[in-house]
Structure 1
Amino acid sequence: MIELGISTFGETTPLEKTGQPIPHDKRIRNLVEEIELADQVGLDIYAIGEHHREDFAISAPEIVLAAGAVTTRHIRLSSAVTILSSIDPVRVYQQYATIDALSKGRAEIMAGRGSFIESFPLFGYDLADYDELFDEKLAMLLEIKKTTKLNWSGRHTQTVNNRPVYPRAVQEDFPIQVATGGSPHSTQKIAELGLPIVYAIIGGNPKNFRQLVKMYKQIGRLHGHDVSKMTVAAHSWGWLAKDKEQAERDYFHPTKQLVDNISKDRPFWKELTYDDYLNSIGENGAMFVGDAQTVANKIIKIVEDLQLDRFMMHLPVGSMPHEDTLEAIRIYGQEVAPKVREYFEDKG
């Protein structure tokens, strides 16, 4: 059965009506309320990403997830992502094992290299070691998951001689998945490890990821992994309202605010035009915007095209009024999710 959920970075761009951003402290408190509502309306997963810049409020997702863990009952709680290259894998495991305890076995880790690089100078890491840092720290994290007493000889990490790592996760097979923006090289490396993969699909036609998914499964099979455990997830930007045209009008401003901000730092990004936006929210675009039926149909399409096990809507991108975000979550959980689940139940 397809899992449906939400990802967010706690965006804090200026609101269209006021021209002012939501303060970081208020956005963080709002986020806990959003997690609670997502749980109440029956969504399966809530994932929060780590960033270290002004337009995102969340630099410590594990703390926000812990707050949500004690007030929810069913929803799974994940990072999206933990920038593993610039953090100690021992602390990552301990933090998420603690969330696992608070939530009674609902925590997950989504690790990534980090497409945003602010954490590297902030924590004293060299971008020249970008790939090596991630590979070594992921290997260390997997070793910590495997055994309580850690023996580890590190180059970019510390050396540990037979020291225990506590607390241990509640879940016997604690979920660790790896996120990628769609690099074939990253897909290959994740497949060789047999780990679940998460694709960030934020541009172009999502169907273009079909060959990557096929390659991921083939490589995993060649390396002797149980392909049934090599799940495939995707997350894409999206927004919901009762009225399709209203959703499309309202979502342009926050999306442009965020894209234009990022384009200042990234030469391969460009400011968002309205025509580009219309293409992205269209039938073959990577944004999921509209009323419940429109978004449900588009989710069904991407799940079938890519054979997904999980889909997460990044909701919202850029700042939207908190009450509107809560309404979008209600529509997602109460109207979109039942339509998608019913479709796949009928298909058997």
Structure 2
Amino acid sequence: MLDVKQQDEHSGMEFGIYTLADLGPDPHTGKTISAQKRLEEIIEAAKIADQAGLDLFGVGEHHRLDYAVSAPPVVLSAISQVTKRIRLISTTTVLSTVDPVRLFEDFATLDLLSNGRAEIMAGRGAFIESFPLFGYDLENYDDLFEENIKLFQELSANERVTWKGRFRSPLYNAEIAPRPAQKNIPLWVGVGGTPESAARAGRLGTGLALAILGGDPIRFKPLVDAYRQAAGEAGHAPEVLKVGVTGHTYIAETTQKAKEEFFPYYANYWEYFNFQMGRDASMSRADFEQLASPETALFVGSPQQIIEKVLRQYELFGHKRFIAQMDIGGLPFEKVAKGIELLATKVMPVVRREIGAK
């Protein structure tokens, strides 16, 4: 378990990476790796991140053939056995379509296996395939999330729970086991752009994880304000509030090199992601140049460019966590590994030093 000294050491800014385990073709070769190979690479990336000194490794949840991970706690448990210190987080758990009791048991088990390193980032999900797959009505999209997150918090706080809700069978003095190594498994809510979701995270006293994938990051400032205001009104102390930023990231020695190398993969990702979402959209080089410009949220560039973007967002949000998604669009593993190295050795130390000097 992380001790107080270790937590204080990185109190300025935590850094990590996450994956959604998409199975996209390499735009240069047209080849798509297997789900098995993708999982092997994810575990290897976690080992590299742990050895490099990053703080977090996240794995997302999808229930589709074009993604390799449907069970984040299983994958994170495998990672826990080949890493030593890196914290392990779901990015995200589709909380509307998972039983909170099973979720708590799975992550409490992960927490024991990892010696207190488990965390959960919960979201409603960009895709909806899990609703019919697990027998839930899409009309209850938001209500399911609200009920499930409140029940999860109740399970986390008590070894025995009596509870009744709308969407699952009641609990009568139910034993909630096992108990995690940590007193409470840290819980975050992932928010893409909805002020109501940010306010709910504040009201419930969870962390707020912003998915900032493009545009001017200043447009997310009202979400952070709504989060902190709702938390204050609910009586949560400011010091317990946590804000994190997640974003697509590619780092190379120079910004021009980063853009030249990453554009084919990002355009590829953009095309197949929009196809998955039922949209017909492509990305031109001009579109990409705009998305990757210095004042926008896409983290593509030299280490200095990434440092400047992280620090600019820190001035806006005062966040304590940055998690980069690096392995999209069929990007070869060796480029992902290089990005992890640059994030850990060239970006993270400078950002921490700059924040500590403020």
TM-score, structure 2 normalization? 0.93
| Whole-angstrom distance in 2 between the partners of 1:62 and 1:210 | 32
Cα shift at 1:128: 0.8
Cα shift at 1:60: 1.1
Contact 2:294 2:305 in 1 (8 A): no
Equivalent residue, structure 2, for 1:241: 252
Equivalent residue, structure 2, for 1:296: 307
Contact 1:94 1:167 in 2 (8 A): yes
Gaps of 5+ in 2: 1-11
Contact 2:73 2:107 in 1 (8 A): yes
User: Counterpart of 1:209 in 2: which secondary structure?
Assistant: helix
| Whole-angstrom distance in 1 between the partners of 2:274 and 2:334 | 28
* AA matched with 1:215: A
| Whole-angstrom distance in 2 between the partners of 1:115 and 1:196 | 19
Aligned match of 2:87 in 31, 51, 76?
76
Equivalent residue, structure 2, for 1:15: 26
Equivalent residue, structure 2, for 1:135: 146
Listed one character per residue, the Cα deviations across residues 110-158 of structure 1 (whole Å, up to 9, x for unaligned) are 1111111111111121111101111111111111001011212131122
Matches within 5 A, 1:39-50: 39-50=50-61
| Whole-angstrom distance in 1 between the partners of 2:214 and 2:250 | 15
Aligned match of 2:123 in 112, 125, 140?
112
Contact 1:197 1:231 in 2 (8 A): yes
User: Counterpart of 1:197 in 2: which secondary structure?
Assistant: strand
Contact 1:262 1:269 in 2 (8 A): no
Aligned match of 1:335 in 332, 346, 353?
346
User: Counterpart of 2:16 in 1: which secondary structure?
Assistant: strand
User: Counterpart of 1:81 in 2: which secondary structure?
Assistant: strand
How well do the aligned residues superpose, as a CA RMSD in angstroms? 1.4
Does 2:282 correspond to 1:282?
Answer: no
| Whole-angstrom distance in 1 between the partners of 2:315 and 2:122 | 25
Detail structure 1 runs of 4+ shifted over 3 Å in the superposition.
265-270
Contact 1:238 1:287 in 2 (8 A): yes
Cα shift at 1:271: 2.4
Equivalent residue, structure 1, for 2:4: none
Cα shift at 1:265: 4.4
User: Counterpart of 1:50 in 2: which secondary structure?
Assistant: coil
Equivalent residue, structure 2, for 1:121: 132
Cα shift at 1:16: 2.5
Cα shift at 1:301: 1.4
Does 2:107 correspond to 1:96?
Answer: yes
Aligned match of 2:225 in 206, 209, 214?
214
User: Counterpart of 2:248 in 1: which secondary structure?
Assistant: strand
* AA matched with 2:210: Y
Aligned match of 1:201 in 209, 212, 225?
212
Contact 1:136 1:157 in 2 (8 A): no
Percent of aligned positions that are identical = 36
Cα shift at 1:294: 1.5
Cα shift at 1:270: 3.3
* AA matched with 1:164: E
